[in-house]
Amino acid sequence: MSAAPEYATATALTIARAVQDGRTTARAVTEAALARITALDSSLNAFTAVTAARARAEADAVDAARAAGRPLGPLAGVPYAVKNLFDLQGLPTLAGSRINRDHPPAARDAALVERFHAAGAVCLGALNMGEYAYDFTGENVHDGASRNPHDLGHMSGGSSGGSGAAVGGRLVPLALGSDTNGSIRVPSSFCGIFGIKPTYGRLSRARSFPFVASFDHLGPFARTVADLACAYDALLGPDPDDAACTDRPAEPVSARLDEGAAGLRIAVLGGWFAQLGTPAAYGAVAKAAAALGATRTVELPEVGRARASAYIITMAEGAALHLERLRRHPLDFDPAVRERLLAGAVLPAAWVVRAQKFRRWFRDAAHALFADWDVLIAPATPVVAPLSGQQTFVLDGREMLVRPNIGIYTQPISFIGLPVVAAPIPGEGKLPIAVQLIAAPWREDAAFRAAAALEAAGVAFAPEPAV
Amino acid sequence: MADEPRLPDLPAYLDAALALVDLPLEPELRPRVLLHLGLAAAMAGEVMTFPLSDEAEPAPVYQP
């Protein structure tokens, strides 16, 4: 079967329409994507497993369905890959670790992988990630760092670093990732792509490897808003296999993108979100605000305490999850992960309970703000991608550790489960940066519409990779 | 008696608590774990000094 190289870097919707119309085949698109991965992944290190046989079988099934006159799904023939904490039948689910390599192969795909399959998408493999998702850098001591597609010497962002590198580097038009404290929004920012961290409980986490049950979210990445919306819509729906998954009916967003930002009340988040950033971060917010006509700056109260509470809960729940592995396989962890988990294992219980009580207080404060506003704009990261291995950076004149501070703007938002679209706003430098478009709970439509308006204005877009 | 608050003895606490939960820690990594425990203690200071009523409910509410 020959490849269709003209579709190797096409958007998901371009591919799906071409497959549906018979202008190309899912198999030809798959071969083109596999060839591009073979050519470029030695540079990007985005993939930890390429599932070529599975991809070819899925693509052939799509082509057979079309030949038989059966209806095709909205993502027919669209290649994608998943952060390696999603179960893929037949592979052990690594979650970025060495320890999980000894796990038995997954017996069944993750729920979201099954939904992509039902939509006609074709799974090309598993993607690199920070160990056990406790990471903002995209570095991994076992598999090596996934690299930034705009400058290979810089971080991809974590913990869904392979997802960011694969979509930003145009190896696949779609990827799935997870976000506990920023792990979808940080790679979106560093790699210059769109990503959605939905409302907590919106998308099923069934058969994915957890990190912090209170904050774990899953979601897709893409290079256009329409692709992201189509992917998101395909993933919607209740699932009794995830205790936190909502039983609200699906609320798809694709048909609403054309509404743009008309009628949306949009403000800029100040206070905490206007401190510790660099001009690149503030410049992106200013551009987005201007394009969306957002002239007011508003504040959430007590954001520092929100971030502190998220930090405590993350350490404690993460440690509880890994306690037995910390006992039995201490030296198989990345030391940078283990040292935080060990500290988390000894935190007084009252700190954690208090943080969960503060979480409800902060949620109520956010609800009050959303009585007057539909979308709040904030930076996604304080900086563009740091150099690979960089340990410190200077924010507001203070030298600070890179690892815990990349997520200063994302962590307080996922703490209360608000939906966020990360929208890339490239500036003058070669490294992009993104803004967060934050909406009220269950109002992904508002965040998507704001992103679509920014894209239509030419302000938000995924820049060409350097690879 | 001095009025300034006593700093908690984090190294002693860490060693005792790790023994309680039966977790190994080699000496080389101990300073890094103490760094993170100190960071968490500072974060907890922010959380614990925020006034909440006795009736404040934790965010996750169990539904039987």
pLDDT, one tens digit per residue, over A367-393 is 999 999 999 999 999 999 999 999 999
ipTM above 0.85, yes or no: yes
Contacts of B50 in chain A (CB under 8 A): 302, 305, 358, 361
Give the pLDDT score at B64: 80
Of A448, A406, A441, A443, nearest to A423 by C-alpha is: A448
- Write the pLDDT tens digit of every residue in A337-360: 999 999 999 999 999 999 999 999
Res B5 pLDDT > 60:
no
CB distance B50–A305 less than 8 Å?
yes
Give residue B61's pLDDT band: very low, low, confident or very high (50, 70, 90): confident
Give residue B1's pLDDT band: very low, low, confident or very high (50, 70, 90): very low
CB distance B21–A354 less than 8 Å?
no
Task: Write out the H or E segment, with its range, that includes residue B49.
Answer: none
Residue count of chain A:
467
- Before A159, cis peptide (omega within 30)? yes
Active site residues of A: 83, 159, 183
Interface test with A, best of B32, B35, B43 (most A CBs within 10 A): B43
Between helix A26-44 and helix A52-67 the angle, nearest 10°, is 160
Q: How many CB pairs under 8 A join A and B?
A: 104
Locus of tokens 């799935």: A176
Using CB atoms, pick whichever of A302, A330, A350 lies closest to residue B24: A330
Rounded to an integer, what distance in angstroms lies between the CA atom of residue A80 and that of residue A463? 19
Give the pLDDT score at B57: 92
Res B60 pLDDT > 80:
yes
Distances (CA, A) of A98 to A47, A104, A110, A443: 15, 13, 20, 38
- Hey, is the C-beta of A330 within 8 angstroms of any chain B C-beta? yes
CB distance A335–B29 less than 8 Å?
yes
Give the pLDDT score at A35: 98
- % of chain A beyond a pLDDT of 70: 100
- Hey, is the C-beta of A360 within 8 angstroms of any chain B C-beta? yes
Contacts of A415 in chain B (CB under 8 A): none
Give residue A1's pLDDT band: very low, low, confident or very high (50, 70, 90): low
Sign of the Cα torsion A109, A112, A113, A115 reads positive
Using CB atoms, pick whichever of A305, A335, A340 lies closest to residue B46: A305
DSSP bridge pairs for A47: A127
Rounded to an integer, what distance in angstroms lies between the CA atom of residue A461 and that of residue A227? 12
- Write the pLDDT tens digit of every residue in A425-448: 999 899 999 999 999 999 999 999
Give the pLDDT score at A97: 98
CB distance B23–A323 less than 8 Å?
yes
Give residue B2's pLDDT band: very low, low, confident or very high (50, 70, 90): very low
Q: Range with the lowest mean pLDDT among A41-50, A220-229, B41-50, B54-63?
A: B54-63
Helix (H), strand (E), coil (C) string for chain A: CCCCHHHCCCCHHHHHHHHHHCCCCHHHHHHHHHHHHHHHHHHHCCEEEECHHHHHHHHHHHHHHHHCCCCCCCCCCCEEEEECCECCECCCCCCCCCHHHHCCCECCCCHHHHHHHHCCCEEEEEECCCHHHCCCCCCCCCCCCCECCCCCCEECCCCCHHHHHHHHCCCCCEEEEEECCCCCHHHHHHHCCEEEECCCCCCCCCCECCCCCCCCEEEEEECCHHHHHHHHHHHCCCCCCCCCCCCCCCCCCHHHHHHCCCCCCEEEECHHHHCCCCHHHHHHHHHHHHHHCCCCEECCCCHHHHHHHHHHHHHHHHHHHHHHHHHHCHHHCCHHHHHHHHHHCCCCHHHHHHHHHHHHHHHHHHHHHHCCCCEEEEECCCCCCCECCCCEEEECCEEEEHHHHCCCCCHHHHCCCCCEEEEECCCCCCCCCEEEEEECCCCHHHHHHHHHHHHHCCCCCCCCCCC
Interface test with B, best of A342, A357, A367, A392 (most B CBs within 10 A): A342
Token output for A55: 């991809």
- Write the pLDDT tens digit of every residue in A165-202: 999 999 999 999 999 999 999 999 999 999 999 999 99
Over residues B10-31, mean pLDDT: 97
CB distance A358–B52 less than 8 Å?
yes
Contacts of B52 in chain A (CB under 8 A): 354, 357-358, 361
Instruction: State the alpha helices, DSSP H only, in B1-64.
Output: 10-20, 30-48
Res B4 pLDDT > 90:
no
Res A330 pLDDT > 70:
yes
On average, the pLDDT of chain A sits at: 97
Strands A79-83 and A174-179: parallel
Interface test with A, best of B9, B22, B46 (most A CBs within 10 A): B46
Give the pLDDT score at B7: 65
CB distance A339–B29 less than 8 Å?
yes
| Residue in B with minimal Cα distance to A307 | B43
Give the pLDDT score at B62: 78
Under DSSP, the state recorded for B50 is S
| Residue in A with minimal Cα distance to B30 | A339
- Hey, is the C-beta of A341 within 8 angstroms of any chain B C-beta? no
| Residue in B with minimal Cα distance to A363 | B59
- Write the pLDDT tens digit of every residue in A111-168: 999 999 999 999 999 999 999 999 999 999 999 999 999 999 999 999 999 999 999 9
Under DSSP, the state recorded for B61 is -
Token output for A240: 């009794």
The answer for A 28-47 residues in CB contact with B (under 8 A) is none
Give the pLDDT score at B6: 62
B11: closest CA of chain A, how far (Å): 11
Give the pLDDT score at B3: 54
Q: Which residues lie below 8 Å from residue A398, measured CB to CB, with a gap of 6+?
A: none
Using CB atoms, pick whichever of B14, B40, B56 lies closest to residue A312: B40
Contacts of A340 in chain B (CB under 8 A): 36
Rounded to an integer, what distance in angstroms lies between the CA atom of residue A159 and that of residue A184? 8
